[in-house]
């Protein structure tokens, strides 16, 4: 048994010609692309919102931190806001919100300062960045071991989805000895 193929025909007098069917493939692809783009924009906005007003301390090293303080200092030496950690154990990650600190009100020449003290007896004060127009981004403080007996400290304060430091100027790397606090 054979199947009958149905086609749309238009009859004109004695001629028969096939009527083309409209294809909606391009329309479906365009709508699908638009939907994916819209979903990606919503996801990026949500990610960007979660990166605001955060302080992340990541101690990847084998040394314990006994005291860790973050504060902002202006030109006259006035301390603006302080966030303290009593201790941060080795291989520990701490995430804190900085929304209560009103860092978006920072104006003028303001620097981020960090005091770190180690269980081995060393301590140091780091001063970095320059916050001219307020700040509501993410500050990350990462500590890692090196091949020597020193520790590698990465201190970064960035804003936006890609954690840009163009506004803050705070993207520094320090080498520090945990026994005497010597900074390179």
CB-based contacts of 65, cutoff 8 Å, min separation 6: 59, 85, 87, 88, 89, 116, 117, 118, 119, 143
Please answer whether residues 98 and 104 qualify as being in contact, where contact means their C-beta atoms are separated by less than 8 angstroms. no
pTM (2 decimals)?
0.69
Of 13-17, 123-127, 170-174, least confident by mean pLDDT is: 13-17
Alpha helices in the chain (DSSP H): 25-50
pLDDT digits (tens, 9 = 90+) for 40-91: 988 887 777 766 777 888 888 888 889 888 888 877 777 777 788 888 888 8
């Amino acid at each position: 048994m054979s199947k009958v193929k149905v086609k749309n025909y238009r009859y004109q007098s004695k001629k028969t010609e096939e009527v083309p069917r409209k294809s909606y493939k391009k329309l479906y692809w365009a709508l699908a692309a638009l939907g994916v783009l819209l979903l990606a924009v919503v996801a990026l906005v949500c990610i960007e919102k979660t990166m605001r007003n955060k302080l992340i301390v990541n101690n990847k090293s084998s040394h314990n931190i006994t005291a860790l303080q973050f504060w902002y200092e202006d030109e006259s030496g006035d301390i603006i806001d302080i966030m303290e950690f009593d201790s941060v154990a080795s291989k520990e990650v701490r995430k804190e919100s900085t929304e209560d600190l009103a860092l978006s009100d920072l104006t003028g020449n303001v620097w981020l300062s960090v005091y770190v003290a180690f269980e081995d007896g060393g301590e140091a004060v780091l001063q970095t960045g320059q916050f001219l127009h307020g700040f509501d981004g993410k500050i990350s403080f990462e500590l890692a071991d090196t091949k020597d007996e020193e520790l590698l400290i990465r201190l970064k304060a960035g804003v936006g989805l890609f954690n840009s430091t163009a506004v803050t100027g705070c993207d520094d790397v320090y080498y520090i000895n945990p026994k005497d606090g010597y900074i390179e």
